[in-house]
Structure 1
Amino acid sequence: MTKQVPLRLILVVPFVLQIFVAVGLTGYLGIRNGQKSINNVVSQLRSETSNRINQQILFYLEKPYLINQTIAAGISEGQIDIKDIEALEHFSWRLVDKNTVDFLQTGTPQGTSVLVERLEEGFIVARAGNTDLPNRQSHRLDSQGKRAELLETKKFDPRTRPWYEAAVEAGEPIWSKMYVGASGKATLSLSQPIYGKTGNLLGVQHSNFRPSRIHDFLKSVKVGQTGQTFIVDRSGHLIASSLIEKPYTIQDKELEQIPATDSENPVTRAVAKAVLERLGDVSSNSDVSNNQSQQLDVVVDGDRHFVQVSPIYDEQGIDWFSVVVVPEADFTAEIDANTRTTILLCLAALVIASVLGIYTAQWIAQPLKRLSQSSEAVADGTLDQNVELSNVRELNVLACSFNRMTQQLRESFTKLAQTNEQLEERVEERTADLKDTLQELQRTQNQMIQAEKMSSLGQLVAGVAHEINNPVNFIHGNVVHVSEYTQNLLALVHLYQAEFPNSTPEIQNKIDEIDLEFVNEDSLKLLASMKLGTERIREIVHSLRNFSRLDEAQVKEVDIHEGIESTIMILQHRLKAKVNSPTTALIRAYGDLPLVECHPGQLNQVFMNILVNAIDALEEGNAKRTYQEIKDNPNQITIRTAVIDAEWVEIAIADNGSGMPEEIHQYIFDPFFTTKPIGKGTGMGMSISYQIITEKHGGKLSCFSTPGKGCEFVIQIPVRLKE
């Protein structure tokens, strides 16, 4: 026989333990979850802040690169004459005047140079030097970009400048070290050599960037309450900081960067030392050098700080690291106070629960004891028991029920069997109904979720198409008029030349200055290019509207080859040779196709998406190969068309890139799936293409890829659309 425990003890001990354990466990879990939440929040805060800083800094640094690329490409292609000092000066003035950039400079191997700069006083100056070195004249430019007044004349040879020598030596775009610019402020410069079609050096293009913009941006980024951020280069010197006013010193026009470990800010100094001690030299740390962020904890004067180190890197020579520091004290003050309160509550709950438990046990135990004695009598067969009523309402009800039970017990035994049978039948019926209802609810839920997804996607695409459509239609509509006006003006000029062949010297000089013959040819080409560009944007907007089912595209009988050729023409600039890669070969294997009834704009969009993906794949492969390797195994894109039968045609587009693995291949037609980095792709191109081919044209779009051997997209569409 087991040892029996008194009811009083059973009521008191579990009651007290339950309250104490519940309060204590709640407090412990609250503290633990609070600490875990802090770690998660701080980790996310560090990562998000670091990503925001890195993206913004790379955005700042991309602008000079794009400007240099634009000017260098124009000079390399012969669109800009680098020998025409005044024309180059005027072109640079237009870029500066439109707030595209504040500083542009071009130097040549012959010693000529053009510099256009926006000063803090608000006006723009041009400093140009021709071959009669060493003199370079500085002029203030008026609102038309013409020289207004001579400011100074001084000796200057661009070939001796560090930015010129560094670009020529590197043979590619390169950033300089931080130095003191002409304005007396800390400056970084991006220089790019310009080569002709034969590989000869035409000159060097140079743009400036002031690190103070990064400094100001870091000050605007709030990290917790007292957190900070700073940027260091690979040697550990400060580039910018959210707390330090100047992370460098300037003396006698010489700039000296301050090592982060020598910073006047104690937290910055301690964090920098801890980073170097724990991670080692950043130049040899594998994780950081592989563009991966590192998170660590640093204790400064007894206070813990959460730190994240993230690399900032571009191919032009920027090799920095962003450091985000978040003090733990910003988040733990309230948790410490709650911990003390929780401990006091646990002790108070223990005392109160003990007192209440003893009193409650006494109050409940006596009536239950009487009820227990009567129950034993009933079990022995004595059913005429009458339990004394209690002051406790529930126990009083229990006593009354017990008394009635003894009277109804025999009757209940008789009815019990019948009730049990009826209950089993009802349970079975109810279970079947609930099962059917649950299945119906699951189907309805899935339908609602799918409908909501498609509705949200349609609204998103429709909104984008609508916002783009209006300004593009405005530009497109006016290009025709501008073209007509230009042709009329040029015709008028030709008429003047025919009627008055012997013009005045002033007019002839002006004609030579503006290169009228070039303007006559190039202006119409520019207008044609603008018209072609706006038409392409309208086609894209039209495709977006069709994807969101805003309207229906016009169906026409078209020559598929014309659509392919127009798409190739738009992408021709991406197929040309570049400094680091030769021309991409385009192989056309066209069959004799009939006119195909289709939505031509949407079909061209499919060609565009597939060709852009092929070019992107080849360029990604080029980044991993040398120029000679690319030349030995050149890039090529093959476009093949053929008639399948009397009712179907086939278009295949293939590249000889690296292909794609199976885990990516199976998702390429899913909406929003992309392998490209942020800002390079949305994941909608192939999804829209698949919908255009399968739903709009009733055709098939397939992808075949072998890793290492390239990728091929095969389009099959009917010659006549079905109703």
Structure 2
Amino acid sequence: MKIHPSSKVRAFSLQLVLVVPFVLQLFSIVGLVGYLSFKNGEKAVNDLADQLMERTSGEVNQHLDAYLSIPHKVIQLNADAIRMGLLNVRDRLKVGKYFWHEMQAYDLTFISLNLATGEGTGAGRYDGKTVTIDDNAIKTPSLPKNTKTYLTDNDGNPTKVMTTSTWDTLNELAYTEPVKAGKPIWVRIYTYYDPAYPPYIVASAGRPIYDASKKLIGVVGAEIHLLKLSEFLQKLDVSRFGQVFIMERDGMLVANSAQEKPFTVVNNEIKRLKAIDSPNPVLQSIAKQLQQRIPNFQSVANTQKLKINVQGENFYVHVVPWRDQHGLDWLVVVGTPEKTYMAQIYANTQISILLCFGALIVATMIGIFTSRRIADPILRLNQTTQAIAFGDLEQTLPEGNIHELNTLAHSFNHMGGQLRESFIALENSNAELEARVEERTVELKTAMSELQRTQAQVLQSEKMSSLGQLVAGIAHEINNPVNFIHGNITHLDEYTQNLLQMIYLYQERYSSHDPEIQALAEEIDLEFLIEDLQKILPSMKMGTERIRNIVRSLRNFSRMDEAEFKAVDIHEGIESTLLILQHRLKDKPDRPAIEVVKNYGNLPQVECYPGQLNQVLMNVLVNAMDALDELDIKRTSQQIEKNPSQITIRTSVVDSQSIEIAIADNAQGMPESVQNRIFDPFFTTKPVGKGTGMGMAISYQIITEKHGGKLLCFSSLGQGTNFIIQVPIRQQAPEHVLKV
């Protein structure tokens, strides 16, 4: 069977075939084991997180059960003492002293008795430390400040009045709500702010008491400060890295483990916060996402376990309802970041990955070592064969440890020796011929390059010379008739004024008596003719002056009479060149005019070849105009209007010995590859027939060789192009014109 030469079978390296399957098997096994270990660890972490959070929420619930049962136990004891006659409610100071002793035994904020008559008494810790006794009398016009707060001695006896204030007992929530309920209840959480004491935010337990005839005596109450719940939550282990907070069913914060308080003080008034408005960003984010997951907190009857994302980090969250028999219905929220539990798993995973890579590297090295022992003799034979095929006949195969390959190596080396002998003879005969051909080729290349450069220079010089002669000839031919017209306009103006005076005089004396003259004056609109004639002559004079300026600029540009160095005004050459190119700058149907911005410095007279320097200016300006035209073709009218085409010409004195001309455009610019070849002969980016590629090369030669200056180009894509021309102010005469 004949195989077609073009048919190819994809081949692999022998070393690759030996190493890759072994490495892939090892990597797959280790990766699978690592993945299963990670998933098992993740499951174990989830179980651990659930256990820890359940333990935390259980600990919080136990604390709430114990701590919040104290107020109701205290008011039960006080109600029983009053009912059994152990406390005389009319002896308010004695009752207050009794409450003072209770305050020493219980961690409460305030214990009170508010009678139905408006009187009352109580003991409290307003500053969190000192226990004082309050005595509330009935408020009357003669006694507007009906409440006295007493300091006490170590036995609870009132010593002196600390403050007096106004207190309307019968209208306070701690009195009205228990009376309305008729049973022990929790009064709604309320706040009180006094700058002299810490913020007062409490949960108050109230119990109405009645006499034997079921007549209301008053209400006994006990209050706890809710900040103590926050202090407890902050001491939990989970609070070091997570958040625990308690909120009511309407979302209002009761307590939290964050350092930020669950309320704010605005204008001397305590304002409770909802969990979603907490200043703590983690707590706030957890609350917001809970609100999205559970729109109605009233529906939470059992523990809710969620996994949410907080500020780009996964959190485990448990929402546990807590209730007591007296009406409190709160939600305990425990949230901990996943990384707290996953840190060790991630560390173990990283270690596993490192071990995998280590095992992979070791296995790869062993595989490479083994494959080399097998493949090296075959690879040497392959490399030697390829080297001989590409002409390196000095190759030989060394002997190895494999007998069959040694026999092949001997045969191969013998064949190589015969080939070397044959090629040596052929190389000797070709070496001399190649040397001669190479020498002639170098000479021809050098001659051809010099010829092309000379031809281009001659062609460009002839073109510029012809242009200069044509411009000079046109300027000369136009100059004489224009001067003739311009000189006679003054006389024509004078003669016209004389004739007009004659017409005015004639009109005054005769025109009104001759109907034929009057009719002719109306037919030719004599008044308009006289008025317009006086405007035409100044316009003609202005036009001839403009033509004379153009002719002068054309003669300045051609400089046919200035073949040697001459001190000239550089700005005149620039203006003359711009005038020649004025048709390129004007607006066209497909684009607006190109704006020329001139920033001329104060330049001295510069010695140069004026005509050749004008040629350089024209080449640079034409390149800029071509670049702007190319860009405008690709842009819409709105884009052109937003960023109009512009050429900036700046002249300045570099130092005391040279001046600088900078010509910049805001076109598309050039890539670095084009910029590096911009001054090479015959290099052009323009289409065939649009340019020879010699303009910038000749300009570079004129500036550097003829004037001893510099021609630099700076450009980048999207930033435009900036050409810098630097020429000396004073030139040294070339050696070939020096006279001995």
The normalised TM-score by structure 1 is 0.43
The normalised TM-score by structure 2 is 0.43
Which protein is bigger by CA-based radius of gyration?
2
